[in-house]
Structure 1
Amino acid sequence: MSNEKTNIFAKRPILSVILIEVCFLLAVFIAGAIATIKQLDYTSPVLISFIPTAVVLILYFTLKRKWRSFGFKIGQAWRNWLLYLPLLLILIILCFQGFNYTAPETILFYLGFSILVGFVEESIYRGLIVHILVPKGIVTAIITSSLLFSLSHILNSLSGQSIEQTLLQVAYALLLGIVLAQLMIKNGSIYPLILFHTLHNFIQFIGKGGYNPILDATILIILVITIVVLSMPSRKIVKTNSGQLTV
């Protein structure tokens, strides 16, 4: 990361994060309003807001040469791969909900849709926000990015989702956000997180879905245990924009 940008983030990291979150939520809110007025389907708000956001992120990472600075490191993608086993277990559990028959063209749409969401949300919350806040402390970076990630899911209630479902999704997003942020800091690569996020959403889109208390409780327990395990001290040295941190 260039010294100019590093100084900006270092001097005003909180303001930087607030601006990123406000701009992102504003884009989603406006897209939701447009979709409501035009009576578009439930995927429209995401497409309307996430596609321009993805373009901006790609242009920024490319023109400023920031891909590696925000976790796009292929060489480190599967370092300590055992740490990702809880995420694989969650994906397997989600498959137990069963799948609906879906036309091939619809499957391709949902796959592209899931890749878009995975790239944008991971780039913002585990890429930009985590790395901006790490100099303020690892715990601060993890908790803040996870709270903002869960906050963004409250907007799902605008699409007619019940309050109970929204609260459950917010709690789930919070725990999942903590795990993903921990993995981002420990391994330094965002690729496995984007892959998980993509597969997670894709399975939910083509799956039967619905509320299953046993499966939901199992996943929440896995997330809590994973948070505890990942919180245990280790001797790894993680290189950040501000230097090196022991985690």
Structure 2
Amino acid sequence: MKKFYEKSELWFSITWIIIYVAIMGNLRNNFGDESIFSLLGVLIIAAILTIFIVKNNLKEKYGLVLCKNAKRFLYFIPFVLLCSVNLWFGAEMHYDLPHQIIAMITMLLIGYTEEVIFRGLLFKAIEKDSIKQAIVISAVTFGIGHIVNLLTGQGTISTILQVLYAIAIGFSFVMCFYKGGSLIPCIVTHSIINMTSKISIHNEDQMWSYISAIFIIVVAGSYALYLKKQKN
């Protein structure tokens, strides 16, 4: 794997995107997020990536280090606001608690894995040639990647909204990583958003889907623009 990485970081990252989407798309579609198979699938992918990064002393390159100056990043308050959306109408634990816990852990690991792949591997692979392209491609592919949720039975309109606000979140995440050198705030935020989606109480009114999507786009987009003005 190291030889492949050294030969082409870009194709290394693209290969991992394909592997991740293919494996997790099929597992989540066939078994659901609450299945032990989905949990094991993302756990294995996350473990392989983490071992590779640690073993080859790439933690700093891929942002698996703490952010040194939270004040410059407004103490990540915009990320806290993004994390709050799933809890606007409260939270509840289901009667099938073990499966709900498995789903939450699965979504936590999905948040970690997607950040390492999209914000870590892909961004860094493209950054060497063009910062602008790296930022745009990392954010847009992250958003478009959520189309895979159609395979899990998610509605078309909900998926389209998710793609749009995921692109906005993607821009805020990649700007945070680019300016601060740490992927940890992005990993934590992404994981919390994912996990709370499994305990949130949903408002069935479609209007709230639009309101929450607009809220996320405005908060994430504004934060990305703010971070853009900060020095690296």
TM surpasses 0.5: yes
Q: What's 1:68 paired with?
A: 60
Q: What's 2:84 paired with?
A: 92
What whole-Å deviation, never above 9, does each CA across 1:74-121 have from its counterpart, x for those lacking one?
Answer: 253736241622111222343212212446656643442333112111
Q: What's 1:114 paired with?
A: 107
What whole-Å deviation, never above 9, does each CA across 1:191-230 have from its counterpart, x for those lacking one?
Answer: 1111111111122211112441333322222222223323
Q: What's 2:135 paired with?
A: 142
Q: What's 2:11 paired with?
A: 15
Contact 2:104 2:196 in 1 (8 A): no
Amino acid at match of 1:218: F
What whole-Å deviation, never above 9, does each CA across 1:96-155 have from its counterpart, x for those lacking one?
Answer: 122124466566434423331121111111111111211122211111111221222111
Contact 1:76 1:188 in 2 (8 A): no
* Structure 1: runs of 5 or more not aligned: 238-247
Q: What's 2:194 paired with?
A: 201
Q: What's 2:47 paired with?
A: 55
CA distance in 2, matches of 1:105, 1:158: 24
Contact 2:142 2:166 in 1 (8 A): yes
CA distance in 2, matches of 1:156, 1:107: 18
- Do the aligned partners of residues 17 and 178 (structure 1) sit closer, same or farther apart at CA in structure 2, a change above 3 Å counting? same
- Do the aligned partners of residues 139 and 222 (structure 1) sit closer, same or farther apart at CA in structure 2, a change above 3 Å counting? same
Q: What's 1:220 paired with?
A: 217
Percent of aligned pairs with the same residue? 21
Contact 2:93 2:100 in 1 (8 A): no
CA distance in 2, matches of 1:169, 1:53: 24
Equivalent pairs counted in the alignment come to 225
Amino acid at match of 2:32: D
- Do the aligned partners of residues 143 and 201 (structure 1) sit closer, same or farther apart at CA in structure 2, a change above 3 Å counting? same
Amino acid at match of 1:159: T
CA distance in 1, matches of 2:24, 2:98: 26
- Do the aligned partners of residues 229 and 91 (structure 1) sit closer, same or farther apart at CA in structure 2, a change above 3 Å counting? same
Amino acid at match of 2:197: Q
Q: What's 2:27 paired with?
A: 31
- Could you state the TM-score of these two structures normalised by the residue count of structure 2? 0.83
Q: What's 1:188 paired with?
A: 181
1:175 Cα offset (Å) = 1.0
Q: What value does the CA root-mean-square deviation take over the aligned residues?
A: 2.7
Contact 1:77 1:191 in 2 (8 A): no
Q: What's 1:240 paired with?
A: none
* Bigger Cα Rg: 1
Contact 2:33 2:107 in 1 (8 A): no
* Structure 2: runs of 5 or more not aligned: none
CA distance in 2, matches of 1:6, 1:20: 11
CA distance in 2, matches of 1:86, 1:65: 31
